[in-house]
Amino acid sequence: MTPARPLLRRSFLTGLALTPLWLPAIAHAADAGGAKKADPNAPVFIKLQALNVTVFDRGVARGKLSIELQLEVTMKNRLDRINSLLPRLYDGYLTAVTEYSNSRAAADRSPDLDYLGDRFQAATDEAVGAGAAKVLFNSAVRTL
């Protein structure tokens, strides 16, 4: 049993010697945990559920279109209203991307993000009011 004691002591001393290397990382993690006060002028972002639709060409499935969006809330006084209308917004976005994916334009090339962005922004403005939130793309992928 004597060989185990020097090994334990060596492990303990090694850990003790490396402790100064861990302390800055632990202190940084503690600072990032919530010591900052919220800036009232900071933008508010709401990440939305991904939109996944099948792309059809003449009734035949030709791939899948996946779009990830987020909303930048520009009028913070409407944040509660926007949160309550998220299902309606998601439905409007899903309708727009489904109509687009069933058109001939979607079957032949990569997604037209300008067109889709305009449709998504129009649905947002209609639901929550013009200028209350801006639609941002996180990603748009078309797979074959």
Q: Are 25 and 54 found together in one domain? A: no
Q: Are 23 and 49 found together in one domain? A: no
108 or 75: which leads in pLDDT: 75
Q: What is the CATH number of the domain that holds 109?
A: 3.30.479
**Helix or strand or coil: residue 6?**
helix
Q: Are 17 and 74 found together in one domain? A: no
How far apart are the C-alpha atoms of 100 and 84, rounded to whole Å?
26
Q: Are 83 and 131 found together in one domain? A: yes
Q: Are 76 and 134 found together in one domain? A: yes
Render pLDDT for 10-68 as a digit per residue (tens, 0 to 9): 666 665 565 555 555 555 555 555 555 667 778 899 999 999 999 888 888 888 999 99
Q: Are 121 and 100 found together in one domain? A: yes
Phi then psi for 142, rounded to 5 degrees? -115, 120
Q: Which has the closest alpha carbon to 115: 71, 67, 82, 49?
A: 67
Q: Are 28 and 65 found together in one domain? A: no
Q: Are 25 and 69 found together in one domain? A: no
Q: Are 88 and 59 found together in one domain? A: yes
Domain that holds residue 1: 1-36
Q: Are 18 and 57 found together in one domain? A: no
**Helix or strand or coil: residue 49?**
coil
Cα angle 76, 78, 84; round to 5: 125
Render pLDDT for 92-128 as a digit per residue (tens, 0 to 9): 999 999 998 887 666 667 888 999 999 999 999 999 9
How far apart are the C-alpha atoms of 142 and 53, rounded to whole Å?
10
pTM above 0.85, yes or no: no
Q: Are 28 and 56 found together in one domain? A: no
- Residue 12 backbone zone (phi > 0: left; psi -120 to 50: alpha; other: beta): alpha
Q: Are 119 and 74 found together in one domain? A: yes
How far apart are the C-alpha atoms of 128 and 105, rounded to whole Å?
29
57 by Cβ neighbours in 10 Å (0-12 / 13-18 / 19+) ranks as: middle
Are residues 68 and 138 in contact, defined by beta-carbon separation less than 8 angstroms? yes
